[in-house]
Amino acid sequence: MSVLKQTPSQTIGPFFAYGLCPEQYNFDLKSLFTPVLAERHTAGQPITIEGRVYDGSGQAVDDAVIEMLQADAAGEYARSLEGIAASGFKGFARVGTGTDPQSRFVVETIKPGALGPASAPHIEVIVMMRGMLLHAYTRIYFEDDAAAHGQDAVLAAVPPERRGTLIARRLPDAGRAAYQFDIHLQGPHETVFFDV
């Protein structure tokens, strides 16, 4: 009989970040994914997304890992290594909060396009951290796409008073467009999470 080993989602431990983002934590290992979803030459509007993960007591979590998946500016997901190499659009990022002095995650990407008529531009987000046995899934929508929010089937399924927890706020312009998106795991400002 073979013995099954534990997977990261079955084990509590502060190893997610340095195991999944080794370069960010200065380990001599190559990270498979980085905090960059799109290179400088990728078509579309370059943006930065920054935020913190807060626990139930309102403290910033310094060992969370955030994964993001998004479509490109035309509303298409990356489909091949050749396409990624040509366009510079990876469409997937991974970043830990433990190396930033303010326990933030900072991701560089492009503004995503809508996937279709029943969708507003958004980014899929997975949150992992110490003590969470299951990943938490949420989405980022953008406040300057408010006109498209009404047609988004997923956002429409969220109670109106909770939709604001999924909206990234535009930061004052300093050249590159930047958005603030904080994730609250519990409490009065708890982010809406989805069952997948």
Domain that holds residue 58: 8-184
Residue 105 lies in a domain: yes
What does the pLDDT average to over 32-36? 69
Residue 193 lies in a domain: no
Residue with tokens 């502060």: 14
**pTM, two decimal places:** 0.85
Please give the structure tokens belonging to residue 58.
Answer: 């309102």
Rg (the chain; Cα; Å): 17
- Residues shown for the chain: 196
Residue 195 lies in a domain: no
Residue 47 lies in a domain: yes
pLDDT exceeds cutoff 90 at 189? yes
The domain that contains 143 carries what CATH number? 2.60.130.10
Strand 65-70 to 136-142 pairing: unpaired
Residue 2 lies in a domain: no
| pLDDT band per the 50, 70, 90 thresholds, residue 79 | confident
Cα angle, residue 188 at apex, residues 68 and 164 outer, rounded to 5°: 50
pLDDT in tens, 134-177: 889 999 999 999 999 999 999 999 999 999 999 999 998 767 79
Q: What is the pLDDT of residue 127?
A: 94
Residue 101 lies in a domain: yes
Residue 190 lies in a domain: no
Number of domains in the chain: 1
Residue 144 lies in a domain: yes
